[in-house]
Amino acid sequence: MKIIEALKQTKDLKRKADDLRDLVKDHCAISTLETQKYPNQTKQVSEWMQAHSDVLKEILRLRVAIQRTNLEVKVTIKLGEKQIEKTIAEWIHRRRDLANEDLSIWNVLGDRGIHEGMAKGPTGDPVEIKVNRFYDPAERDNKKDLYSSEPSIIDAKLEVVNAVTDLIE
């Protein structure tokens, strides 16, 4: 089974568990004025309860297998000019928020609103104001581009990986 199949099956099983829960909720009790909808409703409710438990066990098995696969399978992605190898799990975390966290630090590098030109100094005499940068603007711009595009690059690569990688059980 491929990762994508396990992800889809997990989603389908979750829907099935929801349906079973609705059946139990709707048929677990009736008033004395109602008639049973099933010949042996007690047995039917019990079977739904067991089926729900079985579905949850299968969801757990699939989720653990997906996690195991994500932790063990390494994927190489080209970011900028570098080929970077990480596990699927590491790429998921980069995609989730860490690439944006890297972007955020490069986004705060700037001139802080300082304008170059002439101004009055403390004594009232004209002074020239220049910006002293403690970073490389070209590097900042490159990093901002790199980290801005990283999530979509990861998405594209992991879509393929999920479709071709066998689940480790």
Report CA 32 to chain centroid distance, whole Å: 50
Work out the pLDDT band at 94, boundaries 50, 70, 90.
Answer: very high
The pLDDT score that the predictor gives to residue 121 is 86
Query: 64 pLDDT exceeds 90?
Result: yes
Report the C-alpha gap between 68 and 7 in whole angstroms: 13
pLDDT tens-digit readout, 1-57: 999 999 999 999 999 999 999 999 999 999 999 999 999 999 999 999 999 999 999
Q: Quote the percentage of the chain above a pLDDT of 70.
A: 100
Quote the mean pLDDT of the chain: 97
Given a contact cutoff of 8 angstroms between Cβ atoms, the answer to whether 167 and 4 are in contact is no
What does the DSSP assignment read for 31-77?
A: -TTS--SSTTHHHHHHHHHHHHHHHHHHHHHHHHHHHHHHHH-EEEE
The pair of structure tokens assigned to 90 is 């590491």
